[in-house]
Structure 1
């Protein structure tokens, strides 16, 4: 049985750890709020552009570009989003597992025909360890999302796809639905499926950082009622194309692809902070439970020591 001094040292150690996890939880909560604001500021542009593109493509039977044509897959690229740091639960581990599953599916092509765009140090280290080809270093992008660098990545991929250096491009990232729910997603980037419902992923809950199940359920019900009460009016699909269909598609589709890279980055960034916040909250709760048990053990040991001393005193007085 540990001594009172050992238990007291252990309590002090757990208290110090709890202070760290609690502080990290608050920092992650603050960063999550900023990430939610960034997504919220981007959503109006994303929604309208996707609605315009979807309505336009669905109304034009001849809407075909080089980016929407299927072809035999000989060379593939994966855009994989992770984080630079750890202590965020299974966030990075799950992304790496899905990346390895995708690599296993394309194993017959050979490692030389698989190109990885690693966004985040954890993924970059794994890619180097596996000996795969990397599309560049994007460590800063994982911590500080910016649209200009996302546009550069999208342009590089589009250029390779246009030249025939790539036949298929996929994205692997966490889709941020709420502070308590991040969905690991594998999505086709190129070629574009023109019949795809682009707005299917706009289901984020940006109203709260609360991660309890009851709070999330309440917010989901409230949100669904709001959607039912105010449905959006569809766009007019009677388009007059100027100067021509090809020129318009060559402008709209690259913008959509740039937006997809940037949106996935914001999703991944917000998911990372949410996962870290949940992990640090869990660690803090575990520390509280350990402290409760240690305090109980300390009090029992202390009471036992006092009882033994009293028995010694009483026993000595009786013998005298």
Structure 2
């Protein structure tokens, strides 16, 4: 019985130490979540302005024929299948609950729906979990980026966008989708797959039709020095803002998922400690009762 009591006591001590760790990790994740939410608020103002300009350009038909002049469009006219790339955003680390498994599962479903049985697609992995998963699956991981900051900077994303854009311009693929978990609240995230490339008027038709503010504004523009010059400045900024926004959004979901997972682990540790302490007290009480019974039995034997 003594060994059993020591084992239970050791488990209680060990579980309490684990709870201290998970509590600390929850506080760290919550702090990161608060930081990135403040950062996202200021970024959203910039992204909204860039999106507004691009939507206006689409309404003004400045984007019409943009892809018609590219080699991609010509290739697609001759082929019934498009070479698609999927940029999947995951975390580099674990202990983030079901975050990584959710985005990978949803991305796979989106790929199956979008690409069907075709194997003519490639993966651009932002985050180690996604890169490792698709490599093990034998998929074509043509690009991977690890070590995204907890609160990513805009300069980090420029490298990713420039690489993806160069691959597109070089004809590595015909279209690119960004797949990630959109942050709804601390307990909820929602999968998104947004088309990043090519950028043309068709990409904005649904957005423009739903954008009330854009509807109310005039779509007429006087362009100086030229439409081409405007597009050369605005479209790269739009691509950067789209991917940067997706990474910020995904990182927010990651921190929220991590905080929730650590809180759940702490709660489970509390439940286990309560159960172990009850088990310990019962075992200790049983041991004391046995000792009292043995002493009483011995006294009765001596008195006879």
TM-score, normalization: structure 1?
0.79
Structure 1 residue runs of 5 or longer lacking an equivalent are 202-230
Instruction: Name 1:242's counterpart in structure 2.
Output: 224
Asked if 1:83 corresponds to 2:65, the answer is no
Instruction: Name 1:259's counterpart in structure 2.
Output: 241
- Within 5 Å, give how 1:4-23 maps onto structure 2: 4-23=5-24
Deviation at 1:237, TM superposition (A): 3.6
Q: Secondary structure at the match of 2:168?
A: helix
| Contact 2:35–2:151 (CA under 8 A) maintained in structure 1 | no
- Within 5 Å, give how 1:1-320 maps onto structure 2: 3-58=4-59, 60-61=60-61, 63-67=63-67, 71=76, 72-105=80-113, 106=115, 108-110=117-119, 113-141=120-148, 143=150, 145-192=152-199, 193-197=203-207, 234-319=216-301, 320=303
| Contact 1:67–1:190 (CA under 8 A) maintained in structure 2 | no
Q: Secondary structure at the match of 1:140?
A: coil
Alpha-carbon RMSD across the aligned residues, in angstroms, is 2.9
| Contact 1:91–1:272 (CA under 8 A) maintained in structure 2 | yes
User: Alpha carbons of 1:264 and 1:296: their partners in 2 closer, same or farther (altered >3 Å)?
Assistant: same
Deviation at 1:233, TM superposition (A): 11
Q: Secondary structure at the match of 1:171?
A: strand
User: Alpha carbons of 1:73 and 1:252: their partners in 2 closer, same or farther (altered >3 Å)?
Assistant: farther
Q: Secondary structure at the match of 2:143?
A: coil
User: Alpha carbons of 1:244 and 1:232: their partners in 2 closer, same or farther (altered >3 Å)?
Assistant: closer
Q: Secondary structure at the match of 2:172?
A: coil
User: Alpha carbons of 1:233 and 1:167: their partners in 2 closer, same or farther (altered >3 Å)?
Assistant: closer
Deviation at 1:18, TM superposition (A): 0.8
User: In structure 1, what is the Cα distance between the partners aligned to 2:84 and 2:55?
Assistant: 26
Instruction: Name 1:211's counterpart in structure 2.
Output: none
Deviation at 1:196, TM superposition (A): 3.3
| Contact 1:73–1:168 (CA under 8 A) maintained in structure 2 | no
| Contact 1:21–1:281 (CA under 8 A) maintained in structure 2 | yes
User: In structure 1, what is the Cα distance between the partners aligned to 2:186 and 2:25?
Assistant: 16
Larger Rg: 2
Q: Secondary structure at the match of 2:225?
A: coil
User: In structure 1, what is the Cα distance between the partners aligned to 2:195 and 2:40?
Assistant: 21
User: In structure 1, what is the Cα distance between the partners aligned to 2:11 and 2:169?
Assistant: 62
